[in-house]
Amino acid sequence: MDSLRILLTNDDGIHAMGLCALYEALFSKGFHVDVVAPDSERSAVGHAITLSDPIKIKEVYRLGDRFGWAINGTPADCVKIAVNALLEARPNVVVSGINRGSNTGINILYSGTVSAATEAAILGIPSIAVSVDSFSDQDYCFAAFFVSELVSRLVKYEDSCKSLNVNIPAIPAHLIRGVKLVRQCNSPFKERFEKRVDPRGNIYYWQCSSDFDWEKAKGTDIYWLKKGYITVTPIKFDLTDEQCLEETSILLSDILS
Amino acid sequence: MDSLRILLTNDDGIHAMGLCALYEALFSKGFHVDVVAPDSERSAVGHAITLSDPIKIKEVYRLGDRFGWAINGTPADCVKIAVNALLEARPNVVVSGINRGSNTGINILYSGTVSAATEAAILGIPSIAVSVDSFSDQDYCFAAFFVSELVSRLVKYEDSCKSLNVNIPAIPAHLIRGVKLVRQCNSPFKERFEKRVDPRGNIYYWQCSSDFDWEKAKGTDIYWLKKGYITVTPIKFDLTDEQCLEETSILLSDILS
């Protein structure tokens, strides 16, 4: 049997430690790994795509070997161009990460890492987005090992969910308390914009790290990650609000036809 | 009673005709309208936000009157900074548009217009994203009138859905066949990347307009819009895939704790 084909991408850029750790883990498991990732960091780009500009590609080498393609585009662009133009064969699984910093709660919507996995799901390819809960680089070995195990399971269960968002606590592996299958937390962060004036008298703002009501997070991805568990959330790309369909029908009752 | 406060934004930029038409329609209905919009086009940026760069703001005037703020950020940034820093009072409704070009099906995920409405919903403010199905500017009068009517309904029904995605056919108003409450179409577009070589021998690609399997769109937003109906889809920001929770639980059964 041909080995499993994995497309590996991220939003921290092709040279990020998290991506390299994941490459090693997947490669050493015998998978065929193609890397197509942004040429530099593209965090918080959400599901942006590049339509008005050309997408440049560049082959990247490591230690003399071809490592992958660097793209001047977003994580979603990487998946699209990989599948539609660059790869010899369609990947069996797309893995996005390992991201520096968690992607939980509302932040999933802003995440380039998660959007790459979502883009794969749109194209009908099972996918995993993976993030470690620290903004400084870590020893990614355990996280990479966990994902490589998850990839094997994902392809074994053909009926299984198309896209998984995985977050891993930034603590030594033996202190991780387990794995929780959880929902996305929907509580907003309390945000703050810091106002400043530049040397020419122009006003500008910095979007600041935000406060959060931890009570509201109970039982969600944010809660269990902070408790020391790996969290797994199946995600989808149908934004239709089922529960609101009926309410909206009442609201529009005299104009619907 | 104080007049209703509307925050108006878009992704085509503060000078776009669609936004101006909407401003006129909402203002002439007696609403208080605040405009906070990108300083230039930010299409296909999805739910991107600006964290690594400062956000500059600039007051914009029209015919000698203050019109609003232009921001060097994304549509989602506009809503965040408006609500958290710029506006005197919290808006009752956020309206995003009128966008040049429809936002239906999978394209909702790439849309800056829809992301602004979603951002409002995250902050607990009812919202409407509105797009007209043409990439060239139109007479936006009818679309603007329709949205101003919808705003009045949205605030009347307090229990109603938080966020509506509205698409309007680019045909004369008397030819519009009605209004349909519909689901987002989940079929992918068939995409094509056109390969080119620059004068220095570097390869680049253009992401091209894509083909689509119309049969799969039946009954969805894409289908009814093409049939000449206004489409309304309630949208949400919880990406948890309910239906996959159980399947994923089986997949992870021996490692869940």
The parent domain of residue A16 ranges over 5-186+213-251
Q: Which residues of A162-183 are buried (b: 16+ CB within 10 A; e: fewer)?
A: bbbbbbbbbeeeeebeebbbbb
Question: Looking at the domain assignment, is residue A104 inside a domain?
Answer: yes
* pLDDT in the model for residue A9: 98
Spatial CA neighbour of A73 closest among B198, B114, B13, B46: B46
* pLDDT in the model for residue A51: 86
CATH number, position B169: 3.40.1210.10
Residues in chain B within 8 Å Cβ distance of A191: 80, 84
Between A32 and B190, residue with greater pLDDT: A32
Spatial CA neighbour of B193 closest among A85, A116, A69, A38: A85
* pLDDT in the model for residue B250: 86
Rounded CA-CA distance B57/A138 in Å is 37
Q: Does A123 touch chain B (CB under 8 A)?
A: yes
Q: Do residues B231 and B102 lie in contact, with contact meaning Cβ atoms separated by under 8 Å?
A: no
For residue A106, is the peptide bond before it cis, meaning its omega torsion is within 30 degrees of 0? no
Residue A185 pLDDT > 80, yes or no?
A: yes
Q: What is the ipTM of this complex?
A: 0.90
The mean of the pLDDT values for chain B is 92
- How far is the alpha carbon of A42 from chain B, nearest alpha carbon, in Å? 10
Task: Determine which of B240, B243, B250 to mutate to test the interface with A (most A C-beta atoms within 10 Å).
Answer: B240
Question: Looking at the domain assignment, is residue B102 inside a domain?
Answer: yes
Nearest-CA residue of chain B relative to A196? B54
**pLDDT tier at B231, thresholds 50, 70, 90:** very high
**Cβ within 8 Å, pair A181-B255:** no
Residues in chain B within 8 Å Cβ distance of A153: 251-252
pTM of the model: 0.93
- How far is the alpha carbon of A148 from chain B, nearest alpha carbon, in Å? 13
Q: Does B219 touch chain A (CB under 8 A)?
A: no
* pLDDT in the model for residue A184: 97
For residue range A207-251, list pLDDT tens digits in order: 987 778 888 999 999 999 999 999 999 999 999 998 888 888 888
Return the SS3 of B24: helix
Nearest-CA residue of chain B relative to A49? B44
* pLDDT in the model for residue B246: 86
* pLDDT in the model for residue A191: 86
For residue range B103-133, list pLDDT tens digits in order: 999 999 999 999 999 999 999 999 999 999 9
* pLDDT in the model for residue B134: 92
Residue B58 pLDDT > 60, yes or no?
A: yes
Question: Looking at the domain assignment, is residue B107 inside a domain?
Answer: yes
Question: Looking at the domain assignment, is residue A194 inside a domain?
Answer: no
Question: Looking at the domain assignment, is residue B197 inside a domain?
Answer: no
* pLDDT in the model for residue A48: 87
Percent of chain B with pLDDT over 90: 75
Question: Looking at the domain assignment, is residue B180 inside a domain?
Answer: yes
Residues in chain A within 8 Å Cβ distance of B180: 256-257
- Number of domains forming the structure of chain A: 1
Taking residues B4-25, what's their average pLDDT? 96
**Per DSSP, what are the bridge partners of residue A203?**
A197
* pLDDT in the model for residue A1: 54
- How far is the alpha carbon of A56 from chain B, nearest alpha carbon, in Å? 4
- How far is the alpha carbon of A181 from chain B, nearest alpha carbon, in Å? 7
Question: Looking at the domain assignment, is residue B108 inside a domain?
Answer: yes
Question: Looking at the domain assignment, is residue A208 inside a domain?
Answer: no
